[in-house]
Amino acid sequence: FLPPSIMLLTGLTVFLIACLHEDVAILTAAYFVVEQGMSPTVAAVLAYAGMLANNLVLYTLGAHARRYCWVQRWLANDHAARIRHRLERHLVITLTLSRLGQSMLTPALLGCGFLHVPLRRVMPIVALTAAIYLVTLLTLAIALGERVLRQVGEWAWVVPVVLIVLVTLFIARRRIVPR
């Protein structure tokens, strides 16, 4: 088990990773709980705070995009108003399904900010879905991690972490590099 200064650093790591990628942060938090003795509550709170910070930044980026002249012209037409109305009508289901789908939450939150869906409607839904998602996956990751650790050994964490990092890099590379 680690001294408090190192535990603070691991907690900060969980928060920062959650700001970048939620699923990797959940695995990292589970690793720190199982391997390093971090409290599951502390790991969950730090990951949750990072997830909410990330979601708020995405919404804000979409909202700031409205400041451009060409965006304001596009938002003034009926097509944008219809899209906003449809998004507002189906906001709960849209954000819930977006949380479950890999890489779908980012465009949903950017769109909410861009189309000026009120933040007071978006954040409670995002907070609730993030809490349910985090608790469910963190509990599964901790339970599976403890079981795998008992059967395979301490290096068992390397395989899923490396796989997630490789898949994330592959997806990011396909989006960034044109064909």
Q: H/E/C letters for each residue in the chain?
A: CCCHHHHHHHHHHHHHHHHHCHHHHHHHHHHHHHHHCCCHHHHHHHHHHHHHHHHHHHHHHHHHHCCCHHHHHHHCCHHHHHHHHHHHHCHHHHHHHHHHCCCCHHHHHHHHHHCCCCHHHHHHHHHHHHHHHHHHHHHHHHHHHHHHHHHCCHHHHHHHHHHHHHHHHHHHHHHHCCC
pLDDT-derived band at 140, boundaries 50, 70, 90: very high
pTM of the model: 0.78
Model pLDDT for residues 71-112, shown as the tens digit of each residue = 888 878 888 889 889 999 999 999 999 998 878 999 999 999
pLDDT-derived band at 61, boundaries 50, 70, 90: very high
pLDDT value of residue 29:
92
